[in-house]
Amino acid sequence: MTSLLSIHDLHVSFDTPRGLLQAVRGVDLEVPAGTSVGIVGESGSGKTVLSRAAMGLLQGKNVQRTGTVVFDGKELTALPPDEVRNEFGTGMAMIFQDPMTALNPVRRIGSQISEGLRVRLGLSRADAMKRSAELLALVRIPDPQGMLRKFPNQLSGGMRQRVMIAIAIACNPKLLFADEPTTALDVTVQAQILELLSELRAELGMSMVLVTHDLGVVANHTDIVTVMYAGLVVEQAPTRRLFANMKMPYTEALMKSIPRLDQPSGGRMPMIAGRLPDPTAPEPGCPFAPRCPYVVDKCRSSVPPLVSDGDGHSYRCWLPLGGGI
């Protein structure tokens, strides 16, 4: 299957007062055309930095990026920033975590959706506003004409996120990055937004990268899952295969931390003990070793390589669940 997005040996670091912060460490990622790929991990695992680096959104003197990012046959890492930005909207688009900060609070919704249509597609003001109403209807917003005249603070969190989706898909991009698209939404609205994204992906023929901390989110909305920890890919497999045969203890820990309906009420929420390692001072060995219930001496002395079982399932562990390497 042809890859729409291909990332190879991507490293992203930031110069900080505490030293070099290694946010992404040698990541390889393929997004085949027409598929949905989930990137899963705790806050600080590098998943958001990876997605923003892939889009070329990380700029500044304190940012260091190496590796290659090839999108739709173009090597973005070899292009100047202005040419990379030409891919925004029509090639790639992103839905950000917090729609209230992503939307301009002093501009009406119609103005914010129509801007991209006029700049990228060259539509007239009237045609852009007409298309904006159509997009609002496409993301299941009632009374789209009335919504065009509203300001972001007049909308609920779920409605603001739907507006962000409308802006992202306005120019029919080939690839949509959804960075924690259900943050701060209640459970019912989360389900609606995720279902909407899946429907739009199928309807518009887009590929999607869904970034989340919740394995439960990717279970029914992705074809492939990539699990990240401390800037590294620690497991990657087709979604059904991953859930049926997890190899990495961190993936298992993420699964166990998902709240379950059969758990007694009033008890403590499940969680992974310990915390992520300091990204400015990586220690030898597997980065998950201090938190792993299966750790042995070898885990503390050397980082395991990312190995494949030959059937599309890769993992980074000296003692993978279900058997040795």
pLDDT at residue 198 in the model: 93
Domain ranges for the chain: 104-170
Calpha distance 131→203 (Å, rounded): 17
Q: What is the pLDDT of residues 15-44, one digit of tens each?
A: 999 999 999 999 999 999 999 999 999 999
The predicted structure's pLDDT at residue 323: 53
Cβ atoms within 10 Å, residue 83: 12
pLDDT digits 0-9 by tens, 146-169: 999 999 999 998 999 999 999 999
Inter-CA distances, 291 with 38, 249, 315, Å: 23, 10, 17
Predicted pLDDT of residue 101: 83
Q: What type of residue is 254?
A: L
* Separation CA 2–CA 88 (nearest Å): 21
Please give the model's pTM, rounded to 2 decimal places.
Answer: 0.92
Which of 36-40, 112-116, 117-121, 254-258 is least confident? 254-258
Average pLDDT, the chain: 91
Q: Which is nearest to 37 in space by CA: 24, 23, 56, 50? A: 50
Q: For 88-121, give the secondary structure using H, E and C.
A: ECCCEEEECCCHHHHCCCCCCHHHHHHHHHHHHH
Q: What is the percent of the chain with per-residue pLDDT over 70, rounded to a whole number?
A: 96
pLDDT at 324: 42
Rg over alpha carbons for the chain, rounded to the nearest Å, is 21
Contact 69, 5 (CB under 8 A): yes
Q: Please compute the mean of the pLDDT values over residues 229-251 and round it to a whole number.
A: 96
What is the pLDDT, as a whole number, of residue 261? 61
Residue 1 pLDDT class (50, 70, 90 cuts): low
pLDDT value at residue 105: 93
pLDDT of residue 189: 87
180-194 pLDDT, tens digit each: 988 777 888 888 999
Give the pLDDT confidence of 74-100 residue by residue, as tens digits. 999 999 988 998 999 999 999 988 777
Q: What is the mean pLDDT of residues 239-247?
A: 94
Question: What pLDDT is stored for residue 113 in this prediction?
Answer: 96
Whether 222 and 36 have beta carbons less than 8 Å apart is answered as yes
Q: 3-state SS of 5-61? A: EEEEEEEEEEEECCEEEEEEEEEEEEEECCCEEEEECCCCCCHHHHHHHHHCCCCCC
Residue 320 CA, chain-centre distance (Å), reads: 25
DSSP state of 247: -
pLDDT (0 to 100) of residue 185 = 79
Task: Answer yes or no: are the C-beta atoms of 39 and 47 closer than 8 Å.
Answer: yes
- DSSP assignment, residue 141? -
Neighbours of 103 (CB within 10 A): 20
Tell me the H-state helices in the chain. Answer: 47-55, 81-85, 99-102, 109-121, 125-138, 144-148, 157-169, 187-204, 215-218, 239-244, 249-256, 297-301
Q: Give the model's confidence band at 262: pLDDT under 50 very low, under 70 low, under 90 confident, else very high.
A: low
CB proximity list for 156: less than 8 A, separation 6 or greater: none
Mean pLDDT for the stretch of residues 236-263: 88
Say if CB 152 and CB 105 are below 8 A apart: yes
pLDDT (tens digit per residue) in 265-300: 666 767 788 889 999 998 899 999 999 999 999 999
Phi, psi of 135 (to 5 degrees): -65, -40
Q: What is the dihedral of CA 234, 236, 239, 245, to 10 degrees?
A: -70
pLDDT at 260 over 70: no
